[in-house]
């Protein structure tokens, strides 16, 4: 895999965050990822008055992944409205795992980690293929 330009990827996450719709929490989030074929996909959180149907930035990013041709994610970062790096919640880690290449890198508050490190013993499409 080519060297990841984390500054550039983070800048894309910041641009996405600036489009956040977060009137209830006032907690804007932006995410950006590099795909295996070199595209950058991004997303932002989109809140809803009924809270439970709020879309996180990672969901929005996965939608952008498929809108632009699908594929696998190889590097990911997420930021808040102050451009601080965020760690995806457990639900979002599972969502990212589903669409990750093995060893996908995440920029976290404690440094660069693989998807397997931030979601140990995960279960997803690769495990289903191995067991069938």
Report the DSSP pairing between strands 100-108 and 40-44.
Answer: unpaired
In whole angstroms, what is the distance from residue 97 CA to residue 54 CA? 20
* Candidate list 12, 47, 58, 107, residue with the active-site label: 58
Indicate if 107 belongs to the active site. no
Residue 91 — φ and ψ, nearest 5°?
A: -60, -45
CA angle 33, 90, 40 (to 5 degrees): 5
Hunting for tokens 């451009």 — which residue is that? 83
Residues labelled catalytic: 58
């Amino acid at each position: 895999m080519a060297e990841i330009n984390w500054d550039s990827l983070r800048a894309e996450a910041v641009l996405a965050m600036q489009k956040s719709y977060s009137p209830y929490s006032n907690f804007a989030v932006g995410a950006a990822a590099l795909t295996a074929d070199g595209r950058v996909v991004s997303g932002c959180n989109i809140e809803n008055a009924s809270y439970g149907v709020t879309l996180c930035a990672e969901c929005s990013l996965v939608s952008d992944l498929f809108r632009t041709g699908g594929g696998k994610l190889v590097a990911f970062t997420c930021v808040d409205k102050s451009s601080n790096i965020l760690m995806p919640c457990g639900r979002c880690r599972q969502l990212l795992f589903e669409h990750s290449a093995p060893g996908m890198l995440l920029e976290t508050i404690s440094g660069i980690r693989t998807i397997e490190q931030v979601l140990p013993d995960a279960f997803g499409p690769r495990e289903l293929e191995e067991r069938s």
